Structure 1
Amino acid sequence: MNPTRKRRLITVTAVLVAGLVAGTLVVMALGSNLAYLYTPSEVLAGETGERARFRLGGMVKDGSIQRTEGTLENSFAVSDGDAELVVEYTGILPDLFRENQAVIATGSMQDGRFIATEVLAKHDETYMPREVAEKMEAAHVKHNVDDSKATY
């Protein structure tokens, strides 16, 4: 084989291997940073791993917000209409955070509790994250179908 062709072949092979290694590292890094959105009923049904990091979405239950005096510790219940899950968060809650409003909390389950590292509140009266809206609508449709089958 011609030395020039051999050098080109080695160079092309090295570039391809480097590209594959870089692509694999990027995919692995992105995969570890993904946080999927779940509703409380999906979490309680066991659709998440015990230590997996994910987002919990739903509505803040009326009367569930509790703040510990003198600390930044907060707890509140998030509901999707079927189930509710208590969220514990240490930090300053967003200004728009309040009862009966949509919220997304990022964190993980630890010893049967959802420990949030970040809490996001909706920003206006009509906004709800698309994923939360779709899952809440599915729960609403399910409840309406169940109610129509009930005999009174």
Structure 2
Amino acid sequence: MPDDNIYDIPVTALDGTPGTLAPYRGHVMLVVNVASKCGFTPQYAGLEELYRRYKDRGFVVLGFPCNQFLWQERGDPGEIAGFCSTTYGVTFPLFEKVKVNGPGTHQLFRHLKAARRGLLWTKAIKWNFTKFLVSRDGEVVARYGTSTKPEKLVGAIEKLLA
């Protein structure tokens, strides 16, 4: 497990407000690198459905836009927020664009990738909509690839919320 405490990692909300993940301590978190112009963008609807279904039980989806995969998130914060709310009714927290691979990888994604490797034990994130499931105590318990639809996570989420 990485040395950093996930709750101390600095993050910046999509509106530019700096903070950490401390407000989500005690929550089950699903951290996702998202993009507006991707073939998997319709997963926003499924992520929002999970959030609405379980938020009152201590679950949160955290979306981190990423422009590293074929420039599929070119928008500025206002455009991203507008697209997500208008097209998919997104109400879960969104954050500033981040890098998830290579030089400049955001500290959160360094932490997540170190805790849970991907297919064939690789650290690199292969595409948008990679999902990391984090328990109430901050342990990264699972990593799901792009093609795993949000509704397939129901069982794992319910287990962590029990």
TM over 0.5: no
Greater Cα radius of gyration, structure 1 or 2:
1
Question: TM-score by structure 1 length?
Answer: 0.28
Greater RCO, CA 8 A, separation 6+: 2
Question: TM-score by structure 2 length?
Answer: 0.27
Specify which structure has the higher proportion of strand.
1
